[in-house]
Amino acid sequence: MIVRHRNYDLSARNTFRMKVRCALYVEVTEEADLPALDWDALPQPLMVIGGGSNLLFTADFPGTVLHFADGRGDSHEIPPRPLGPDSGGLLLATVPAGSVFDDFCAWAAENGLWGPENLSLIPGECGASAVQNIGAYGVEAKDIIAAIRAWDLQERRFVTIDPADCAYGYRTSRFKTDWKGRYVITAVTYRLSQTPQPKLDYGGIRKALEERGVSTGAGISGHPRPDKREGPKEARSAENGRGRSEAKAIPAPVLTPQLIRDTIIDIRNKKLPDPAEKGSAGSFFCNPVISREHFARIVATAREENGPDYQVPHYEVGDQIKVPAAWMIEQCGFKGATNGGAKVYENQPLVIVNDSGEASPEEIIGLEQRIIRTIEGKYGITLHPEVEHI
């Protein structure tokens, strides 16, 4: 089915809730409808969107906005299939591009399949995951994408794209560069594993799991732990005849994709705004990757301000260092800063929110530019927006 709306209000189609319009909005629910569209008659330019969760509309869009929706219905009906006879427990799952990505993560976790659990609660749709190379907690979409099906607007035919040809990088791909505007993604095939493959050493996951009583050492299964009831051994023995050496074994939770997903959802909910309450596009800036020499200068500055033992948060990336943009934004005093209806979110300064619900694109951009200029002046780093400006 094809649905068309002229002079369409896009405020419900972007998570920043910018009150802008497009000349024509087209929603397509079936692959077979794509060849039937009169592409040459559509108002130009043409922009394909997913859930609108990584966009900042800076003004009304003069052309056509096209959305390929999930006409199949419930994304939990995905039928996984073996990768091959000697796949070592790997499965493939093909998901319509319009499916909510977190619904896919939920389905995989519920079925005990490893791969996307660290990406839980990232907003947006599956098609956009392949464009943006979404990532969180040490995992990126490219790590689990096996194939991409798309309508080629240039050649007017359906194609299957190998992820190896997509030039995936940190929050980027060829879909955002030389392929921009060429493809309408209709489905993404993900590679999942029945064999445990937990990735825990990023963003406090391991610590959060251990606080839940989960063993995160060698092996994946839970381990018994002693009964931790209070009181001296004599009192416990009088009560139930068991001394310390005979304490009741209580099984610890087993490390599963569902447990990791639940833990990550808890972490994200504490740091990030609920999109239903505060409009935003999630992480606004990319985390910069710099040389070790540059990082040493930042450490020296930070220790002058915070004391000689101060530790600057960072991650090793080969022979370079990734510095959290959120840390720099907070160090520069922007946590909670406002510009009209726009605000740097108090719990996660990497996020800019439409705090009033009525923020204009100019207010968002004004706050963005203040942050960029200040960090450039203090740290010699130019932050680049992760959010695409339209």
Q: What are phi and psi of 192, to 5 degrees?
A: -120, 160
Residue span(s) of the chain under CATH 3.30.43.10 come to 2-68
DSSP state, 14? S
CB count within 10 Å of CB 293 equals 8
| pLDDT score of 85 | 59
What's the rounded Cα separation, in Å, for the pair 335 and 96?
A: 38
| pLDDT score of 221 | 36
Q: Which residue out of 17, 171, 236, 261 is catalytically annotated? A: 171
Is 368 one of the annotated active-site residues of the chain?
Answer: no
Residue span(s) of the chain under CATH 3.90.78.10 come to 279-389
| pLDDT score of 254 | 78
| pLDDT score of 229 | 30
State the angle between helix axes of 361-379 and 292-306 in degrees (0 to 180), rounded to the nearest 10: 90
Asked whether 188 and 95 are in contact (CB, 8 A), the reply is yes
| pLDDT score of 77 | 58
DSSP state, 248? P
Find residue 202's DSSP bridge partners: none
| pLDDT score of 349 | 93
pLDDT tens string 274-291:
877 889 988 899 999 999
Q: Which residue out of 27, 31, 140, 386 is catalytically annotated? A: 386
Is 171 one of the annotated active-site residues of the chain?
Answer: yes
State the angle between helix axes of 101-110 and 257-271 in degrees (0 to 180), rounded to the nearest 10: 140
User: Among candidates 245, 210, 239, 211, which has minimal Cα distance to 226?
Assistant: 245
What's the rounded Cα separation, in Å, for the pair 147 and 151?
A: 14
Is 316 one of the annotated active-site residues of the chain?
Answer: no
| pLDDT score of 70 | 76
In this structure, whether the domain defined by 279-389 belongs to CATH 3.30.1370.10 is answered with: no
What is the secondary structure of 185-207 as a DSSP string?
A: EEEEEEEEESS-----SSTTHHH
Q: What are phi and psi of 35, to 5 degrees?
A: -65, -25
Residue ranges of the chain with pLDDT lower than 70? 71-80, 82-87, 217-253
Give the contacts of 11 (CB within 8 A, at least 6 positions apart).
Answer: 17, 18, 19, 20
Helical spans, DSSP H, in the chain: 101-110, 126-132, 205-211, 233-240, 257-271, 292-306, 325-331, 361-379
In this structure, whether the domain defined by 2-68 belongs to CATH 3.30.70.3270 is answered with: no
| pLDDT score of 234 | 34
Please give the angle made by the CA atoms of 300, 302 and 306, to the nearest 5 degrees.
Answer: 120
Q: Which residue out of 280, 283, 360, 363 is catalytically annotated? A: 283
| pLDDT score of 245 | 34
What's the rounded Cα separation, in Å, for the pair 320 and 290?
A: 6
Q: What is the CATH number of domain 75-193?
A: 3.30.465.10
